[in-house]
Amino acid sequence: MRDKRFDEGSGVSGPYVLGLGEVDEDRAGLVGGKGAHLGALSRVDGVRVPDGFCVTTDAFRRVVARAPEVDALLDRLAGADPDDREAVRALSAKVRRAVEEAVIPDDLAAGIIGAVARLGEEAAYAVRSSATAEDLPTASFAGQQDTYLNVVGPAEVLRHVSRCWASLFTERAVVYRRRNGIDDRTVRMAVVVQRMVLPDASGVLFTADPVTGHRRTATVDAGFGLGEALVSGLVNPDVLTVRDGEVIARTIAVKERAVHALPGGGTREVTVEAGQRERPALTDAQAVELVRLGRRIEAHFGCPQDIEWCLNDDGFRIVQSRPITTLFPVPDPVPVPEAAGGRTPSVYVSVGHQQMMTDAMNPLGWSMWQRTAMVPMHEAGGRLFVDVTPRLASPASRAALLDVMGKGDPLVRDALETVLERGEFDLPVPDAGPVGPPADGAPEASVTEADPAVVAELVERSETSVAALERDIRTKSGPELFDFLAEAFEEHKRVLSDPLSMRAIMAGMEATWWLNDKLGEWLGEKNAADALTLSAPGNITSEMGLDLLDVADAIRPHPEVVAFLNGVQDDAHGDGFLDGLLKLPGGSAAREAIGTYLARYGMRCVAEIDITRPRWSEHPATLVPLILDNVRNFGPGAAERRFEQGRLRALRTEQDVLTRLRALPDGERKADETKRMIDQVRAFAGYREYPKYGIVCRYFLYKQALLEEAGRLVRDGVLAEREDVFHLTFQELEDVVRSRRADDRLIARRKEAFRSYGALTPPRVLTSDGEAVTGSYRRDDVPEGALAGLAVSTGSVEGRARVILDLADAELEEGDILVTRFTDPSWSPLFLGVAGLVTEVGGLMTHGAVIAREYGLPAVVGVDRATRLIRDGQRIRVHGTDGYVEILD
């Protein structure tokens, strides 16, 4: 498109040279990220920035427009396969050469030379690239374009300006832009020219710990001479850690080399005198002073900063500042109560790790979950967190919280204990009274027995409530819809918090824990409940997988249908395939089977707690690969056969356990108690999955109504497209509906933020200081080289690892072991075709663990970085009883 071309006539023409004092963050489009930040820095009280000027993006655009071959080369670069590194390397080199050789017009050259003359023709200069996609809050682009130091003389400044323009197309910059979804043609290059500082010491200041994320901890890297020695890895820096105005840790490196400026221009490496090599580059007082400057800069820009600095006899100079883009955001607002004798942080537990969905959510998604959840939740980085500080404050509630967390995910418990063990903060004991439910919403009341008939009653109640919602929501639109939804959300929470439902869930969970504890004590059995819960009745999630086997049975006899579906599988836009089935022999039966399946499960999808994710009913082609796997890997009647096999195995296990118990002292009592618990766990274990199903049913109805409203907003010209509503919170969407006005810039910012959040890894535990606490297993029973995790389904299996991050990419063979980040109920049909399961996220009672036990799959969850440490295709052995994974290759 013409507006993306480097066309001299496109855009608004502006000045070609601007002093740093003339620019700030609002002019980033004209002077690039670095130039904008430096201009803003020059206005911060107490911060000194070397004098300089910017050669603007208008100058770049004008020069490149005089080299028409650049456009043709960019067309070829855009069409190159991003995985063909050789092609990208060759084409980017040609673009660089063309840009660097482009002639600078006389008036532009005169403007640059005049700016140099005003600052001093004999001075040395740093010439730095400053692209418009640079030093952004979501992508720093650090090191992607070039910087040249100690450039002397106007002619050399001009030459190095051209080299900076050309560095927009280094191979590393082109690849980085592609990874961040940025079109090469949308980026412009400015150049910053500053008087050189010839420092005694230089380095980098991070105003937050770049590893842990702790916002009150600053890290200073320092070395002798120019900072190039540190950036290039020529020397190890001194590292000083500063917190609350005090150096709390220091590492002084042996600095054998440094980079100094040459009198005539350029730089060189020099040898540091032997007596100076172990001398600190900064004193503690200087480090503390530097961090104070950093805090001013951080306050100005509103986020933690990565700051380059120089020090000479005249004090500190700041030569660059950019956001630290790798930190996980802190929930906002952050309550920071003060306690007598110390400071109390807030401590947050990740909701996504308990819901088995750690991907970033759109604002409508996380705000809807907030609105319908039973406990207050805080958003950060597109994820939700629960503030557990009040529960940690009281010794009684603390013990209960740690117990619940430990049963669900030992890494969360260990992370919380790590925070508590430090003793850095005082936790005040709150006033007597309720402190709210645990972070996972589980009730604290103990339940040991319940009437199995309540399950049928609870399912009927839920179905009746969903049917009423479906009937009533159809009649609502505009502001009336949001008034109705306010009432619907209260009904949603009432169903979710039904005491009878809570007792049924706890009855199954407590029976599981009892069986594992007692049978471990009496018989030495590990995780004995796993085999006893095989094919437990009433599990909606396992039924979903088995029912898809029945769909395969309806399709398998018809080769034309199978061939047609193989074509659909390869078609990214194949969601209209259902009508196409009717034209084929056997197609009517296939369509009916898929339609029946969608009627019952079509509201489900991957990451289904996010209302903005496409549901199976919206994109039914998502199911086609799973159906074809079932056609290929299973025979007729597999669903009924597998369920019956599991039921018989559970029955045999029960008989074996009871027989062995009766042979023990006081065996009849132990057997009677165990039989009662087995009956209880089989009656209630399946219900554990039903409340989530009810939530997702309601969510689909909410989504359909909101999208209809979004369609009306598009027709009225309020929004550009329906899916824009996904980037608004529920409250913001309601405001748009009532006011008939939308903020397009807000939506654009939200889209960019959501894209950047996808690159972040959410922590299990996060403090209000920004520290991500991961936790560890602290076990000594894991073989060397094995990966520790949580044992959730017994057995051991060896096979080929299939590392799958997207359900749509699943292509499995018999005996494969699924390795992924997390699984929610939508993954359960895939479990039927694998021999074992390994996930990075999960706990004993999360969905993946429940279904793995239901299907009898050896499974280990909570294996940190499993998808990075295990390569696709490696042979691994999953120890589902002992909780670790061996890599055999």
Tens digit of each residue's pLDDT (9 = 90 or more) over 320-343 = 998 998 899 999 754 444 443 445
pLDDT: which is higher, 437 or 855? 855
pLDDT: which is higher, 272 or 164? 164
pLDDT at 9: 36
Spatial strand order in the sheet of 17-19: 17-19, 52-55, 189-195, 124-131, 147-152
Which residue type is seen at 542?
S
Helix (H) or strand (E) run with residue 368 in it = helix 363-372
Please, which pLDDT band fits residue 426 given cuts at 50, 70 and 90? low
Of 69-83, 292-306, 472-486, 868-882, the range with the lowest mean pLDDT is 69-83
Burial of residue 856 (number of CB atoms within 10 Å: 0-12, 13-18, 19+): buried
Asked if the model's pLDDT at residue 117 lies above 50, the reply is: yes
Q: What is the mean pLDDT of residues 723-746?
A: 97
DSSP string over 673-737? HHHHHHHHHHHHTGGGGHHHHHHHHHHHHHHHHHHHHHHHHHHTTS-SSGGGGGGS-HHHHHHHH
pLDDT at 88: 79
If DSSP states are collapsed to H, E and C, what string results for 783-845?
Answer: CCCCEECEEEECCEEEEEEEECCCHHHCCCCCCCEEEECCCCHHHHHHHCCCCEEEECCCCCC
Instruction: Please tell me the distance from the alpha carbon of residue 547 to that of residue 550, in angstroms, as a whole number.
Output: 5
Any catalytic annotation for residue 214?
no
pLDDT at 233: 65
Please, which pLDDT band fits residue 571 given cuts at 50, 70 and 90? low
CB atoms within 10 A of CB 564: 22
> pLDDT, tens digit, for every residue of 378-394?
999 999 999 999 899 88
CA distances from 120 to 73, 151, 315 (A): 38, 12, 21
DSSP string over 735-757? HHHHH----HHHHHHHHHHHHHH
Decide if 227 contacts 308 (C-beta within 8 A).
yes
Asked if the model's pLDDT at residue 429 lies above 70, the reply is: no
**E strands of 22-153, at which residues?**
52-55, 124-131, 147-152
Please, which pLDDT band fits residue 4 given cuts at 50, 70 and 90? very low
What is the three-class DSSP state of 126? strand
As given in the structure block, the two tokens for residue 126 are: 């740093």
Q: What is the mean pLDDT of residues 508-521?
A: 93
Give CA 691 to chain center in angstroms: 26
Decide if 532 contacts 473 (C-beta within 8 A).
no
> pLDDT, tens digit, for every residue of 814-825?
899 999 999 888
Q: What is the mean pLDDT of residues 453-474?
A: 95
Decide if 190 contacts 128 (C-beta within 8 A).
no
pLDDT: which is higher, 561 or 850? 561
What does the CA dihedral 502, 508, 514, 520 come to, rounded to 10 degrees?
Answer: -140
Asked if the model's pLDDT at residue 521 lies above 70, the reply is: yes
Query: Token pair 């440490």 is at which residue?
Result: 869
> pLDDT, tens digit, for every residue of 174-232?
877 777 667 767 788 999 999 998 889 999 999 999 999 999 999 999 998 887 767 66
Helix (H) or strand (E) run with residue 505 in it = helix 499-523
Rg of the chain taking only CA atoms, in angstroms: 31
pLDDT at 428: 56
Helix ranges restricted to H, 534-586: 540-555, 559-569, 577-581
Contacting residues for 646 by C-beta, under 8 A, at least 6 apart: 534, 535, 854, 855, 856
Helix (H) or strand (E) run with residue 628 in it = helix 624-633
pLDDT at 64: 86
Query: Which of 160, 214, 727, 847 is an active site residue?
Result: 847
pLDDT at 568: 85
Please, which pLDDT band fits residue 105 given cuts at 50, 70 and 90? very high
Query: Token pair 């005198």 is at which residue?
Result: 273
Instruction: Please tell me the distance from the alpha carbon of residue 554 to that of residue 631, in angstroms, as a whole number.
Output: 9
Please, which pLDDT band fits residue 118 given cuts at 50, 70 and 90? very high
Please, which pLDDT band fits residue 364 given cuts at 50, 70 and 90? very high
pLDDT at 336: 44
Please, which pLDDT band fits residue 721 given cuts at 50, 70 and 90? very high
pLDDT at 574: 62
**Percent residues over pLDDT 70 in the chain:** 91
pLDDT at 7: 39
pLDDT at 232: 64
Instruction: Please tell me the distance from the alpha carbon of residue 365 to that of residue 653, in angstroms, as a whole number.
Output: 43
Asked if the model's pLDDT at residue 796 lies above 50, the reply is: yes
* β-pairing verdict for 305-312 and 315-323: antiparallel
Please, which pLDDT band fits residue 450 given cuts at 50, 70 and 90? low
Q: What is the pTM of this model?
A: 0.85
Asked if the model's pLDDT at residue 607 lies above 70, the reply is: yes
Spatial strand order in the sheet of 796-803: 787-788, 884-887, 875-879, 796-803, 817-820, 836-839, 859-861, 790-793
Long-range contacts of 842-845 (CB under 8 A, 24+ apart): 842/356, 842/409, 842/790, 842/792, 843/354, 843/407, 843/408, 843/409, 843/790, 843/792, 844/407, 844/408, 844/512, 844/790, 844/792, 845/407, 845/408, 845/509, 845/512, 845/688
**Percent residues over pLDDT 90 in the chain:** 64
Q: What is the mean pLDDT of residues 846-853?
A: 84
As given in the structure block, the two tokens for residue 317 are: 């100079």
Contacting residues for 692 by C-beta, under 8 A, at least 6 apart: 541, 825, 847
Contacting residues for 889 by C-beta, under 8 A, at least 6 apart: 871, 874, 875
Please, which pLDDT band fits residue 438 given cuts at 50, 70 and 90? very low
Instruction: Please tell me the distance from the alpha carbon of residue 526 to that of residue 604, in angstroms, as a whole number.
Output: 34
Contacting residues for 528 by C-beta, under 8 A, at least 6 apart: 515, 516, 519, 520, 657
As given in the structure block, the two tokens for residue 640 are: 């009924």
Q: What's phi and psi for 564, nearest 5 deg?
A: -60, -45
Q: What is the mean pLDDT of residues 105-114?
A: 93
574 DSSP assignment? -
Of 172-186, 187-201, 261-275, 660-674, the range with the lowest mean pLDDT is 172-186
Please, which pLDDT band fits residue 855 given cuts at 50, 70 and 90? confident
